[in-house]
Structure 1
Amino acid sequence: MTAEPAIDVHGLTKSFGGRTVVDDVTLTVQRGEIAGFLGPNGSGKTTTIRLMCGLLSPDAGTGRVLGYDILSQGRRIKLEVGYMTQKFSFYEDLTIEENLRFVAGLYRLKPERQSVADTLADLGLTSRKHQLAGSLSGGWKQRLALAACIMHRPKLLLLDEPTAGVDPLARREFWDEIHRLAGDGLTVLVSTHYMDEAERCHRINYIAYGRLVASGTVPEVIAEAGLVTFTLSGPGTAEAAKRLKGMPGVDQIAPFGTTLHVVGRDGAALEASARQVAQATKTALVKSETSLEDVFIKLMNASPDNA
């Protein structure tokens, strides 16, 4: 018998002031899965997450999270979900340990001291437990926030752009921790703007201006976009970029160091344009792999802004 998905919602819709922020979103996340939730700023990611964890009520739609009905059992969902917001929201004049003791009290964890000690150890915070939260770097604040989210042993972790503003090493360590937790059975839904983080998810879901427009594994999403990519390299790429603008088949032009990526949906027209310009500018032309970023730019450009 197949286990019920951790998240299984259908037709979620939410409006504020006459503007539809979440528009008929249907989303499924399997248990133990790390699901990426991607999209531009203002696309409805945060509102969708809040609808699923019981912090907001939808105007329309139904669904179940961890087996509970999102319309009538929001309180039960909250007790079994860890939700990490974009903004650091702990007491900066309390120590790491004091902040975790406060959270343990909210969840009525017993024995409290042991729960805090175990969480400090799990997240590598024991040696810093007496440090004030306000004095922590972005990476350590992030680790404290994650510790507070998982100390009550939730079954689902909702992370809203958790690595914004932290350095690459802290991001790498954070994701190593997320994969460790998922390996132990925790389900994770994480919103992010970073392409490398999206590629570390088991599946990704792309929302643009309130509508879910792509879902699947990274290779599936890239394949379904139907894009072709060529790379031009050499000293003439700046001139090549000028010439390629508006040519047949050219949808995107993006410089990457000394190379130029040219992307489009009409492969034959794109190749003809790219070859013509490569010859004129004496640049080398090769067919390349389409990147996830190329796909997201296409999805953004194809989606109407609901503002």
Structure 2
Amino acid sequence: MHSHHSHSGDYCAHGADPLNSMIDRVVQLGFHTYCLTEHIPRLESKFIYPEELELGDTSDEIITSLETSFKNFLSHAREIKARYAATPEVRTRFIIGTEIESCDMDHIKYAKRVMTENSGILQFCVGSVHHVNGIPIDFDQEQWHNSLHSLNDNFRLFLLSYFHSQYEMLTNVKPLVVGHFDLFKLFLPSGMLVDPKTGLCDKEAGVPIASLDVINQWPDVYDAVVRNLQFIDSYGGTIEINTSALRKGLEEPYPGKAVCDLVKKHCGSRFVLSDDAHGVAQVGVCYGKVKKYIVDVLQLKYLYYLEEGVPPQKVPSVRKLPISQFVNDPFWANI
């Protein structure tokens, strides 16, 4: 069993528990592969989250604190990796990565520099988008709406901005794992009324957004998604099935079936699994539910995972696991 995306209370302001406690749970559950992927720091004060304000008295102090925390993560992760590499009786092997912050082009360039400067430790990155038009879309409902308002309350334009930002990140970074592909849906109000032709949101007219397949509703949005997936396919990247959406109350994980069908068609059906855990209770979260999604809904023949390369190879290899082995993994007896 695998997870390619995780955070902890030691190095993430919205994390819940120490990294060592999470690792204890990972080992207890019998994961095969678990990836440590704390966020690369942000550079500008406008991208500081409210939960991070207590990290310093000024924005410069907060940014310095984030940078120091990331350096501490790299050291800690390397220690964990070495510890369990020398413990053959433990099944789990750890791969060190990071989740990049693609707030804007400056952050993308910074992420590339951090990856290069720490290439002896960082083995891959999870490529994600958390902002639309410079405003976070996964922090709370208010910020999500602020982002939509900044694009003239047009949900079609909102989606296009999201997928264009994703494409900019993809083409510059080529992340081996693409994180929560359709994160925009986290705070999407199911009752929001939208014009099905233009995408304009109106409190008085339109149809409920929940009645639309928003990926296939607008040709330019569909084309943007396909473009992104085809580019990911061109360099051998993977799409994570991220169970955090299920623990947050959504009906489907990231990505939903509409996107997954396009991954199967345009990206070699290369899915990897992630819990995106931020605390002990979230390790392996909703894996029972996602197994049914993978087997019964998506009907995948294989699930993919990262395997550490043999030196001097630094980048992990993408391996595939037959679904028959996935469903019979000894992990399932532990959850």
Shorter-chain TM-score range: 0.3 to 0.5
The normalised TM-score by structure 2 is 0.33
Larger helix fraction of residues: 2
The normalised TM-score by structure 1 is 0.35
